[in-house]
């Protein structure tokens, strides 16, 4: 990887995480040497972004097994399992709404079941290998996505992106921002506008920082500036991520995504969403069925702890919106680029 | 007025201004008893909003005349004028880009010229009367706009607004927010969504506060939430202000206005702009000729003094955008509501 930082790294029985609470003003690594450290890191958002949380949790489950390992031989596998599952549950509860957290813990527990009865040293070694694999697999998926997606980016393109979909949101490299970074390797003349992405400012705090670290020419804008750039022909394409994709290609993503898609539709600008196939919810016919999480009013009334709105003001703060597939030019996955009709293209990916 | 606060008030030789630097967390009045106080209040943005600055400056010119009044009789009118014009220039330099600042000072100076030779007591009394008139005239214009505009608001409407166009931006009552307040007097069931209006957050800091003070049911949203509300039929109309209007009806207003107009056009939602006739630039054929002011990067990289983006990140920060007249349903002025074709309707208002 050409990243000059890493989101997470495991070495010498220590998991190091870049501390996303203090970026971009401070670059600091938070170290975890046990499951409690991992639980804290996930709960307190030292680490964020679904794939990054998943990989972090996998190492948490490794720590969990290691911490109970003396029980496995001194008392019994049953005693071990009681402690092991209890600690995993504790990890799971750190952020119950993060899909990848449960997914990674379950994957580690399933591996344990196939190893049951073996020497504890072998079990620990296999669990650590799986945590490493989950991490590397995510990076590999992102690199494949980058390779397919970068083919869509014309030479010297000016690209608009939204929220953070980079190395920080994943185990490394990134989804939509990974595509941009891959394109930049071949063509240093691309230019990126990054939406600041209110209310949580992931664009200002994280994407701007990643763009600078990658040496990509770029500018930060308030979210409502994008509309005039799109109208005035200053944007060649929009590329962003996805939190959940329906079987018909409707894309649920960070609030503000729909606005960009509508402007792109109106002014004939290509609009792409990049995500791993695991983001597709094959059971959902359309995006209309996706419940939109409403988050705390303080995300809007306070910025970095400073109050910016009057006490008691009502707030409507949806975290996501749904972009209809009619506004999407193509979907970028690690299996290739999907074009309309999306329902057929997506059905072909069904496991 | 039913406002429970005031933007500016003159009594007992003292000008009181609501301190917009500390709203909405603190409600404090800043008092001016001389021209230096007024200059500071304008420069340091104790007061903001073009009409509010104009009225404040008028009282500043009154203070200027009063401070030099001893020269008028003891030495000569020429000595008086030297000091008077020098102080007025000092006031003018407080914020050289504010159009209404120069307009108000010029209006006061023209009045002095017609009074030249009279007793200084009479001159001071006439200048104070004119400052009061400038203030009251602005409120009267806003009330007329409110009366015409409120006819466009259906019973129980849900209204979206952007930036601050209320009493705080004017000598009192407000333009677009004045229309909303007039409508609310007749129909308490209206509901208002206020865009926070990045980067300067006038919606969060000022409009939210005015809506609460007026007892209007409302909610604050991040700017990019508006798009889904418009699409989902949750907004009956959008009403906002204008900074400059071209002869064809193109509206230059706070950044984010164009985005709302495009969504309204796409989803057939009425879009209104409210402003005094003095905002129309009859010499401008279209809005394309309006130069867009780019403001300091710090407005985006810092919020209330707290850094939210990495050091050295480029920023593109236009303060305004231009909405084409084709996106506008009607224009609301103190002379009545203008409908397309706007060029004809606007030409009829030409002085």
In the numeric block, which tokens belong to residue A117? 């009865």
Question: Domain A150-347's class?
Answer: alpha beta
Which chain A residues are within 8 Å of B316, Cβ to Cβ? 193, 219-221, 225
CA distance A215 to A286: 39
| Contact residues, B window 224-243, toward A, CB-based 8 Å cutoff | 224-228, 231
Mutate to test the interface with A, among B160, B203, B252, B308 (most CBs of A within 10 A): B308
How many other C-beta atoms are found inside a 10 Å radius of the C-beta of residue B117?
A: 7
**pLDDT for A82 beyond 70:** yes
Residue of B nearest to A221 (CA): B316
Q: Within an 8 Å CB–CB cutoff, is residue B107 touching chain A?
A: no
Instruction: Judge whether A12 counts as a catalytic residue.
Output: no
Is pTM beyond 0.90 here? yes
Q: Residue A49 has what pLDDT?
A: 85
With CB atoms and an 8 Å threshold, state whether A204 touches B231.
Answer: no
**pLDDT for A1 beyond 50:** no
- The helix (H) or strand (E) run that includes residue A84 is helix A77-92
With CB atoms and an 8 Å threshold, state whether A223 touches B224.
Answer: yes
Mean pLDDT of chain A: 95
CA distance B254 to B321: 6
- Residue-wise pLDDT for A10-59, tens only, equals 999 999 999 999 999 999 999 999 999 999 999 999 998 888 999 999 99
Just list the catalytic residues of B.
Answer: 243
Domain boundaries along the sequence of chain A: 8-142, 150-347
In the numeric block, which tokens belong to residue B196? 């926070």
Which chain A residues are within 8 Å of B225, Cβ to Cβ? 255-256, 316-318, 321
With CB atoms and an 8 Å threshold, state whether A301 touches B263.
Answer: no
Residue of A nearest to B322 (CA): A228
Which residues, other chains included, contact A284 with Cβ-Cβ below 8 Å and sequence gap of 6+? Answer: A244, A246, A247, A290
- Residue-wise pLDDT for B243-277, tens only, equals 889 999 999 999 999 999 999 999 999 999 999 99
Which chain B residues are within 8 Å of A201, Cβ to Cβ? 308
- Residue-wise pLDDT for A112-144, tens only, equals 999 999 999 999 999 999 999 999 999 999 999
Phi, psi of A91 (to 5 degrees): -65, -45
CA distance B118 to B337: 43
**pLDDT for A2 beyond 60:** no
For residue B143, give the 3-state DSSP assignment.
helix
Q: Residue A77 has what pLDDT?
A: 87
Q: Residue B278 has what pLDDT?
A: 86
Which chain B residues are within 8 Å of A200, Cβ to Cβ? none
With CB atoms and an 8 Å threshold, state whether B262 touches A266.
Answer: yes
Residue A258: which of B212, B227, B305 has the nearest Cβ? B227
Closest-CA distance of chain B to residue A23, Å = 8
Do B339 and B330 touch, CB atoms closer than 8 A? yes
Closest-CA distance of chain B to residue A198, Å = 6
For residue A31, give the 3-state DSSP assignment.
strand
Average confidence (pLDDT) over A182-191: 97
Q: In what order do the strands lie in the sheet with B14-18?
A: B8-11, B14-18, B29-32
Closest-CA distance of chain A to residue B198, Å = 6
With CB atoms and an 8 Å threshold, state whether A227 touches B310.
Answer: no
Q: Residue B336 has what pLDDT?
A: 98
**pLDDT for A197 beyond 80:** yes
User: pLDDT band at A247, cuts 50/70/90?
Assistant: very high
Closest-CA distance of chain A to residue B93, Å = 29
Low-confidence ranges of chain B (pLDDT < 50): 1-2
Residue of A nearest to B317 (CA): A221
Instruction: Give helix then strand counts, H and E, for chain A.
Output: 13, 16
ipTM of this model? 0.91
**pLDDT for A342 beyond 50:** yes
Which chain A residues are within 8 Å of B26, Cβ to Cβ? none
Q: Within an 8 Å CB–CB cutoff, is residue B259 touching chain A?
A: yes
Residue of A nearest to B314 (CA): A219
| Contact residues, A window 192-211, toward B, CB-based 8 Å cutoff | 193, 196, 198-199, 201, 204-205, 208-209, 211
Catalytic residue among A138, A243, A250, A321: A243
Closest-CA distance of chain B to residue A220, Å = 5
Pairs of CB atoms within 8 A across A/B: 180
CATH numeric code, B8-142: 1.20.120.420
Do A46 and A40 touch, CB atoms closer than 8 A? yes
Which residues, other chains included, contact B150 with Cβ-Cβ below 8 Å and sequence gap of 6+? Answer: B179, B182, B183, B186
Q: Within an 8 Å CB–CB cutoff, is residue A25 touching chain B?
A: yes
**pLDDT for A248 beyond 90:** yes
Q: Residue B97 has what pLDDT?
A: 66
Q: Within an 8 Å CB–CB cutoff, is residue A310 touching chain B?
A: yes
For residue B320, give the 3-state DSSP assignment.
strand
CA distance B179 to A323: 33
């Amino acid at each position: 990887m050409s990243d000059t930082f890493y989101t997470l790294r495991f070495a010498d029985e220590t998991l190091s995480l870049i501390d996303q609470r203090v970026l971009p003003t401070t670059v600091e690594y938070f170290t975890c040497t046990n499951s409690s450290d991992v639980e804290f890191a996930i709960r307190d958002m030292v680490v964020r972004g679904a794939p990054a949380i998943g990989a972090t949790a996998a190492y948490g489950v490794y720590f969990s097994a290691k911490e109970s390992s003396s029980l496995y031989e001194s008392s019994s596998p049953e005693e071990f399992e009681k402690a092991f599952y209890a600690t995993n549950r504790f990890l799971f509860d750190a952020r119950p709404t993060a899909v990848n957290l449960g997914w990674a813990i379950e994957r580690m527990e399933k591996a344990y079941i196939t190893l049951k009865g073996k020497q504890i040293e072998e079990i620990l070694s296999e669990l650590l290998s799986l945590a490493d694999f989950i991490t590397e697999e995510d990076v590999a998926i992102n690199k494949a996505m980058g390779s397919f997606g970068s083919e869509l980016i014309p030479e010297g393109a000016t690209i608009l992106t939204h929220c953070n979909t980079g190395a920080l949101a994943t185990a490394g490299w990134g989804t939509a921002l990974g595509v941009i970074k891959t394109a930049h390797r071949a063509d240093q003349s691309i230019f990126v506008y990054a939406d600041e992405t209110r209310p949580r400012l992931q664009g200002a705090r994280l994407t701007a920082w990643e763009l600078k670290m990658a040496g990509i020419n770029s500018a930060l804008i308030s979210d409502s500036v994008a509309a005039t750039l799109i109208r005035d022909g200053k944007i060649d394409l929009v590329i962003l991520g996805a939190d959940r994709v329906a079987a018909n290609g409707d894309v649920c993503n960070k609030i503000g995504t729909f606005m960009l898609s509508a402007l792109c539709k109106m002014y004939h600008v290509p609009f792409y969403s990049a995500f791993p196939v695991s983001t597709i919810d094959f059971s959902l016919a359309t995006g209309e069925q996706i419940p939109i999480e409403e988050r705390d009013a303080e995300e809007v009334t306070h910025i970095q702890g400073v109050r910016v709105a009057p006490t008691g003001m009502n707030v409507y703060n949806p975290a996501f919106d749904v972009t209809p597939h009619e506004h999407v030019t193509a979907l970028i996955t690690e299996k290739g680029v999907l074009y309309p009709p999306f329902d057929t293209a997506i059905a072909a990916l069904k496991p």
